[in-house]
Amino acid sequence: MKKNKIKNTGLEVTELSFGTSSLGSMPDTYGYEVPEERAQDTLKRFFQGPVNLLDTSRNYAMGESEKRIGRAIKENGGWPSDFILSTKIDRNMETLVLDKSRTRESIEESLKTLNVDSVDILFLHDPEYVKDIKDVTRENGAMDELFKIKEEGLAKAVGLAMGKVDIMFPLLKNWDFDVMINHNRFTLLNREADKMYDYAFSKNIAIFNAAPYAGGVLAKGPDNFKKITYQDVSEEKLAPAREIEKVCKKHNVEMGAAALQFSLKDNRITSSMCGVTSIESIEKNLKWAKENISTEFWDEILKLPFSSVDPEAERVSVYYTHLTLPTNREV
């Protein structure tokens, strides 16, 4: 599988990578449980390749994702030297604080839980949901601590991982990130991140495009999965997905293959990141990445209309229902 470099880090990541938010079992978000045995079988399959990047977070499933990965790493005898492990600095989920102290606490918790001494990539995660974003952006705040952690050798590369483009784009312009993750905003249904990706690419920031299936609907189909970006939606809002499905059927292309390869074929994108929760989901992603798709299909599918607005603008997360976003941002 093709690998792409992350600037000045010595890291090379496969063009397809795997995320693990759902692997920790988050039924309120994804609509299904993932038992421990299934999660461990999935991780054992990951260690067989060819995908070399696994991404997690301190707060995925309230820490369960990292715990499961940590157990798998221990069972494997350590993290394989030719694989890439990434995790994220996260806010305190009770206080919503993400400051210098919490940044240090988060990485220490992650290293202990994952059973490793360092990680390859460390992201600052979801600053749009913190109590006070000034704690992140001020001098000697969370962001400065992130870069200090890199200087200490606890991470080879650091980046920003979040959704909301209106907050992410200014932050990208103010720090020298190696890499970024944005999710659900560059898909067959939505291109809100397009201009931000242009900027990141021009600055040699590695782009990980996460959730190319728009939360699942572009993998499972609108008849089987009536959610877009983790939200129940009306039949009217499902209509664009049905149009995509119609073109896929016309050309005998699997919808998931079209959604994934839309991301893979964009030369700005370093790696397309898909969530996996089973051996079958790993195999399916590998199959879709290699499916032969005609030029005629792309000519037709790329003519379909798409949204350029925030796909999560109306989302109410179980974690964020009590949150008021800061209005005064130091960026």
Looking at residue 316, its pLDDT comes to 53
N-to-C CA span, the chain: 38
Q: pTM above 0.85?
A: yes
* Cα separation, 47 vs 49, whole angstroms: 5
Collapse the DSSP code of 227 into the 3-class scheme (helix H, G, I; strand E, B; otherwise coil) and give the result.
strand
Looking at residue 258, its pLDDT comes to 98
Residue 176: other Cβ atoms inside 10 A: 10
* 239-290 pLDDT, tens digit each: 999 999 999 999 999 999 999 999 999 999 999 999 999 999 999 999 999 9
Let me know the angle formed at the C-alpha of 124 by 120 and 129, rounded to the nearest 5 degrees: 150
Please report which helix (H) or strand (E) contains residue 124, including its range: strand 119-125
Please report which helix (H) or strand (E) contains residue 201, including its range: helix 194-202
Q: How do beta strands 3-6 and 11-14 pair?
A: antiparallel
262 near 271, Cβ under 8 Å? no
Q: How do beta strands 155-162 and 179-183 pair?
A: parallel
Looking at residue 153, its pLDDT comes to 98
Q: Could you write out the DSSP letters of every residue in 184-237?
A: SSSSSSB-TTHHHHHHHHHTT-EEEEE-TTGGGHHHH-TTT--EETTEE--HHH
Which residue bears the tokens 């994220």? 88
Looking at residue 32, its pLDDT comes to 76
Q: How do beta strands 155-162 and 119-125 pair?
A: parallel
* Domains of the chain, first to last: 13-301 (3.20.20.100)
- Residues of the chain short of pLDDT 70, as ranges, are 29, 316-331
Q: How do beta strands 231-232 and 53-55 pair?
A: unpaired
Looking at residue 331, its pLDDT comes to 43
